[in-house]
Structure 1
Amino acid sequence: MLSPSRFPRRPLAAAIALTLALPTVAIAADKSIEERLAELEARVAASERRASQAEQRADQAEAALERQQSSPQLVQGDNTSQTVGVEEDLSAPGIPSQVRDETGDDEEQGLSMSVYARSGLLIGSDRKSAPGGPSLTPAGPSGGYVGRLGNEPDTYVETVFDYNQRYDNGSHALYRVMLADGVTTSNDWTADESDLNIRQAFVEFSDLPGFTGAFENASIWGGKRFDRDNFNIEWIDSDVVFLAGTGAGIYDISVTDGWDTSVSLYGRSFSDYPVVTREQPGLEGSTDNLILTANNRFGPWQWMVNGMSANDNDERDNDPRAGIAGDNVAENGFQTMLAYHGDSFFGLGEGTFKAALLYGHGLGGEVKNIGADGNLTDDANTARLAIFGTTYLSPNWRIAPALLAQTSRDRYADGDRYDWVTLNARLANELSENFEMQYEASYQWMDLDPAGYAYEDGDGDTQVFESVNGGYTRLTIAPTFKPQVGGFWQRPEIRVFATWSDWDEDLNSFSNDDALGSDGFTGSEWTFGTQMEVWF
């Protein structure tokens, strides 16, 4: 029977339903009272459901706007040019999360697009292309990045296409595909050097009416994607944490009123590697690393836990000089992160800040790019600290300081040590509606002892690393033009810059394969250039 209690809550819906029902009642007078009331009740329920869905969409749009205004974040971004037994790191280098994530909101049905791109020249005092990149220093391959302003010689483009669809029952579906390419040449035709790649291809369902209780606000996804809760330090183009791969998961399970959790399973493939055994020397092997992640949110707090397993990875020979594969290569591991996402500048004033402490063991010893490094030892231990924020010092001056530090033991060889600390600050003075001066200072201290570790590069050559200890300094000044100034997240912009960098001579001996110590690049270097950067 029809429940009268529904009408006081939805008077408009009830009135509409009654109006629509009258012709039907007149035409079908031969129907029983029970049948007519059942039909009327169904129409009222449908009207209520549509009204509820409209309210939910309005609430979600309002919440998205509040997030965008109060705490704009950046998605993680790395583009590593060096490798020490680790996959090349090409995580998303700098699209604001409100651009990437909010494209899936209900307001944007149909096809939409978002973009990140940068392109520029980096020229040395000899008027030739100069080495560059946030991972330039010996600490770079283990995650030790420096400031990116005036330090990027590449052209990198990524484009995200979203298709959003809302169904009659209120369900929402998002399909996303992301294309990316990066080259360092300044030529117009770069097909031979292109790294064009599909970095994401997944579908996500939300607002499912069949999900109730703790799953009422949950969404499910499947495919190849970046984890939704990755985040980075934009000014040194380094992820705090980056999880990506192919798999499936469920976001936003409401365990309690103040506790949401997300659970996902990702798979990553380790490329072919040499397997050296007494019985069958020189075999080629491969394996898949499975990552089970639980990401918990308690208000501004985030607690992430990852467990991983790569079957038979311990057969890997991660040191070509060893001759016989040892038992020290990891087959399992775990990683965890505790982070705080603040809505002020460290409680001192308006702005934003984030702080995170990470720890990993075994395969989790690569704490930033989770599950991406198959050369880690069973005994690998790594801890990482990230602190950064943004604020205005005055109406026309803004600052973004950052600290990133990491310590690692037994990473690739028994007794090795990789310790480094990066201090970075981006400062900007808004001089007019279309012009500002940007400044950046970056310093990195490192103490690296590879303990004789070597690896085989893509050309089949064995690279050996030396112990080094010292500091790297970088200073940049960059006059910047843009359609409208205002905040660190305002793009597009065009910069011209001059950069001076210097480092301790000891760092030149770390490797014969990196930029430091190469001919004409041994310290006290000037570089100049121009760069554009855009996102929308």
Structure 2
Amino acid sequence: MSHSAINTVIKTTLLSGVFMATAMPAIAFEFHGYGRIGSGASTGSGGAQSCFQLAGAETKYRLGNECELYGELEISHAFFKSEQGSTFTVVGMGSLYNRNDRSPTFQPEDGSARAPQIYAKYSNIPELNGATLWAGRRYYKRHDVHITDFYYWNPSGTGLGIEDYKVGDLKLSYAFSREDNIYQADYANKHDFQLGGIKTNQGGEVALGLSYIQDAGQVSGANSGWSVTAQHEQKGWLGGSNKFAIQYGVGPGTGLGYTGSLLADQSNKRLRLVESFDWQATAEFGGQLTAVYQRDQSDTGRQTWWSAGVRPVYAFSPYFKLVGEAGHDRVEAVDGQTRNLSKLTIAPTFTLEKAFWSRPELRLFYTYARWNEAAQNAASAGSALSKTGTFGADLNGSTYGVQLEYWW
């Protein structure tokens, strides 16, 4: 299916929603959002806050280490509900991203303003065993590690699909898409199949995924690719939940949910293991820990990324928490060099509830990081770890500031 054909389907679906909105009374309106904004500085130089991320690592530990403003506003409207419980809904979202050290020009290197979601869905269809039909651009079946903002399994995109067709306890889903995100230069047909609801033990379930990316005929030298994911989720541990995922991809499938480079051939392979555990052991003590192992193989050699970190939170009252975060990243690069980065943050935090997941939070933070020469040599020019960055030839640095984070 061509990109123009997909757009035609999406536009037709959305126009149908507008027609139904004029023909039937509105029954539900919801407004959701997310935002974070802050200001900080780097010690020593007195310059703007610099954030620490290791070259070759997919993520960074984010507490006291975010150098941007980001916000999302989402509106959803249910226009129709049948006697059988089926609902037709249209969802729209706008987002704003801007680097703290840049003026809001919204050039690619400074920031962006876009619509990451605009789609229509027809939910709980009895003739499809309670499944949902949808079309548009949407966040789709995403799984992430919160403390690193790592969306390790994320088949979101622009397309259409059938979601959660029920067969007993099992749920089958299929999505067809072409565009993953704002950074995808060229489009390719992607087919995503998922099977969820596989009961394994009390409180535990397994979800399986298969993604196939077709050869993009309009791109010279493009290849097809695929990836598979298996994830076990255990609920009820210390008042929280645990996720463990194994992922493997080949060619453009090395994006492991996203579409990877369309020029990647069959020699390009990626294996990833992800562990994420969040807990709320008592009303006062919660947190999240994570560990990641990722191995990339290509005709140029092998690169390995290891990461481990934890964010414990202790609430002294419903209005005050002490939050800490420690993380370490290690990259064994193709050139034989081993890069290391360790980061530690302490953040006295004002809030309205005790729990780890409660927001809003107003944080005062101090962050300290250390890295080695290999990390410094591999860092991009002007970044925190590079010799041309805020900390010069030093192999350590610290920042401080304030940040507000809120979702609803």
Give the TM-score normalised by structure 1. Answer: 0.65
Residue 295 of structure 1 pairs with residue 213 of structure 2:
no
Per-residue CA deviations over 1:224-249 (Å, capped at 9, x if unaligned) read 1121x211000011112111221110
In the TM superposition, residue 492 of structure 1 has moved relative to its aligned partner by 0.5
AA matched with 1:266: S
Q: Provide the C-alpha distance between the structure 1 equivalents of 2:325 and 2:182, rounded to a whole number of angstroms.
A: 37
Decide which of 286, 307, 319 is 1:434's aligned counterpart.
319
Alignment of 1:90-129 (within 5 A): 109-125=27-43, 126-129=45-48
Is the deviation greater in 357-366 or in 513-522?
Answer: 513-522
Q: Provide the C-alpha distance between the structure 1 equivalents of 2:280 and 2:81, rounded to a whole number of angstroms.
A: 44
Decide which of 43, 49, 54 is 1:130's aligned counterpart.
49
Decide which of 276, 282, 292 is 1:404's aligned counterpart.
292
Decide which of 195, 204, 215 is 2:112's aligned counterpart.
195
Structure of higher CA gyration radius: 1
Q: Provide the C-alpha distance between the structure 2 equivalents of 1:162 and 1:479, rounded to a whole number of angstroms.
A: 35
**Aligned in 2, Cα 1:429/1:189: closer, same or farther, shift over 3 Å?**
same
In the TM superposition, residue 474 of structure 1 has moved relative to its aligned partner by 0.3
Decide which of 417, 420, 424 is 2:302's aligned counterpart.
417
Partner in structure 1 of residue 229 of structure 2: 337
In the TM superposition, residue 484 of structure 1 has moved relative to its aligned partner by 2.1
Contact 1:313 1:331 in 2 (8 A): no
AA matched with 1:341: E
Residue 309 of structure 1 pairs with residue 214 of structure 2:
yes
Q: Name the SS for the 2:359 alignment partner.
A: coil
Residue 234 of structure 1 pairs with residue 146 of structure 2:
yes
Contact 2:180 2:258 in 1 (8 A): no
Partner in structure 2 of residue 223 of structure 1: 136
Partner in structure 2 of residue 524 of structure 1: 396
Q: Name the SS for the 2:259 alignment partner.
A: coil
Q: Identity of paired residues, percent?
A: 20
Partner in structure 2 of residue 444 of structure 1: 329
Q: Provide the C-alpha distance between the structure 2 equivalents of 1:248 and 1:303, rounded to a whole number of angstroms.
A: 20
Decide which of 490, 501, 522 is 2:369's aligned counterpart.
501
AA matched with 1:293: D
AA matched with 2:49: A
Q: Name the SS for the 1:363 alignment partner.
A: helix
Q: Name the SS for the 2:253 alignment partner.
A: helix
Contact 2:319 2:351 in 1 (8 A): yes
Q: Which has the higher contact order (CA 8 A, sep 6+)?
A: 2
Decide which of 223, 245, 259 is 2:157's aligned counterpart.
245
Q: Name the SS for the 2:125 alignment partner.
A: coil
Alignment of 1:128-277 (within 5 A): 128-132=47-51, 136-140=53-57, 143=58, 145-170=59-84, 171-185=86-100, 193-209=110-126, 211=127, 215-227=128-140, 229-255=141-167, 257-268=168-179
Q: Name the SS for the 2:147 alignment partner.
A: helix
Q: Which runs of no fewer than 5 residues in structure 1 stay unpaired? A: 1-107, 274-285, 317-329, 450-465
Q: Which has the higher helix share?
A: 1
**Aligned in 2, Cα 1:224/1:149: closer, same or farther, shift over 3 Å?**
same
Per-residue CA deviations over 1:252-278 (Å, capped at 9, x if unaligned) read 1123x13221011111279999xxxxx
Q: Name the SS for the 1:343 alignment partner.
A: strand
Contact 1:270 1:288 in 2 (8 A): no
In the TM superposition, residue 121 of structure 1 has moved relative to its aligned partner by 1.6
In the TM superposition, residue 180 of structure 1 has moved relative to its aligned partner by 0.6
AA matched with 2:271: A
Q: Provide the C-alpha distance between the structure 2 equivalents of 1:512 and 1:288, rounded to a whole number of angstroms.
A: 28
Give the TM-score normalised by structure 2. Answer: 0.84
Contact 1:359 1:383 in 2 (8 A): yes
In the TM superposition, residue 375 of structure 1 has moved relative to its aligned partner by 4.2
Q: Provide the C-alpha distance between the structure 2 equivalents of 1:109 and 1:386, rounded to a whole number of angstroms.
A: 41
Q: Name the SS for the 1:130 alignment partner.
A: coil
**Aligned in 2, Cα 1:386/1:313: closer, same or farther, shift over 3 Å?**
farther
Residue 386 of structure 1 pairs with residue 278 of structure 2:
no
Contact 2:229 2:246 in 1 (8 A): yes
Partner in structure 1 of residue 347 of structure 2: 478
Q: Provide the C-alpha distance between the structure 2 equivalents of 1:386 and 1:139, rounded to a whole number of angstroms.
A: 16
Contact 1:269 1:289 in 2 (8 A): no
In the TM superposition, residue 200 of structure 1 has moved relative to its aligned partner by 1.0
Per-residue CA deviations over 1:141-172 (Å, capped at 9, x if unaligned) read xx2x2311000010001111101123344430
Q: Which runs of no fewer than 5 residues in structure 2 stay unpaired? A: 1-25, 200-204
**Aligned in 2, Cα 1:191/1:381: closer, same or farther, shift over 3 Å?**
closer
Partner in structure 1 of residue 250 of structure 2: 361
AA matched with 1:206: S
Per-residue CA deviations over 1:416-471 (Å, capped at 9, x if unaligned) read 3221111010011111120010000001111011xxxxxxxxxxxxxxxx653131
**Aligned in 2, Cα 1:182/1:216: closer, same or farther, shift over 3 Å?**
same
In the TM superposition, residue 306 of structure 1 has moved relative to its aligned partner by 0.5
